[in-house]
Amino acid sequence: MQVMDNVISDHKCNIEIISFLHDHLGVTCTADSANYSAMNGRLDIIQYLHQHYSSAASNNNINIWSTKVMDNAAEYGHIDIVKWLHLNRTEGCTTDAMDKAALKGKMEMVKWLHLNRTEGCTEQVLVSPRSYLNTVLYLLDNKLVKPKDYN
C-alpha cells in the first residue's frame, strides 16, 4: 500500500492532509485510494481524486478509476457517491453493485440502481442465506431476477 492509499484508507482522514501530500510532496495514489474513499463514504475525497487524478495520464499512467469504485459505494449504501459517480464518471458499475447492496439490505440503493442504471443484478441475491426478504420481494416484483427451479 502506498502512502496516499494508507492515509485515505482511514475513514477519518483529513482532506487537507491528502492535498498537502499531493501538492507539496508529489505523492500519487493507486486504485485503492478511490476504492477506500467509496467504501468509507468520502464524497469529498472522491471529488478531490476526480479533480487531480481524472485519468491515468494525470497519475503516472496509473488509472485509479474502475467499476469497482461505484460497486463499493453501492455495497456500503453511500448513495451520494453512487449518484455523483453516475453523473461525473463514465466507468459505471457491474451487477456487483446491486447484488452487494441487496445482500446488505440497502433498499434505497437497490431502488436507485434499478431506476437509474442498467446493470441489474444476478440470481445470487435470491439464493443467498444473507438475503433480506423485502429486498428479494422487490427484485422479484420488479422482474429484476427470475427464480429458477432449484429442484
Mean local confidence (pLDDT), 117-126: 92
The crossing angle, in degrees rounded to 10, of helices 43-52 and 79-88 is 20
Domain covering 67-150, topology = 1.25.40
Q: Locate 145 and state its grid cell.
A: 431476477
The pairs formed by 6-11 with CB atoms below 8 angstroms and a separation of 24 or more are 8/32, 8/33, 8/36, 8/37, 8/42, 8/45, 9/36, 9/40, 11/40, 11/41, 11/42
DSSP tag of 11: T
Q: Are 119 and 82 in contact (CB under 8 A)?
A: no
User: Is residue 130's pLDDT more than 50?
Assistant: yes
- Of the chain, the end-to-end C-alpha distance in Å amounts to 46
- 94 torsion bin: left (phi>0), alpha (psi -120 to 50), beta (else): beta
Mean pLDDT for the chain? 89
| Per-residue pLDDT at 58 | 65
Buried b (16+ CB within 10 A) or exposed e, 64-77: bbbbbbbbbbbbbb
The structural domains of the chain, with segments of one domain joined by +, span: 1-65, 67-150
Question: In this predicted model, what pLDDT tens digit does every residue of 16-68 receive, in sequence order?
Answer: 999 998 889 988 888 899 999 999 999 999 999 999 988 766 666 678 999 99
| Per-residue pLDDT at 103 | 94
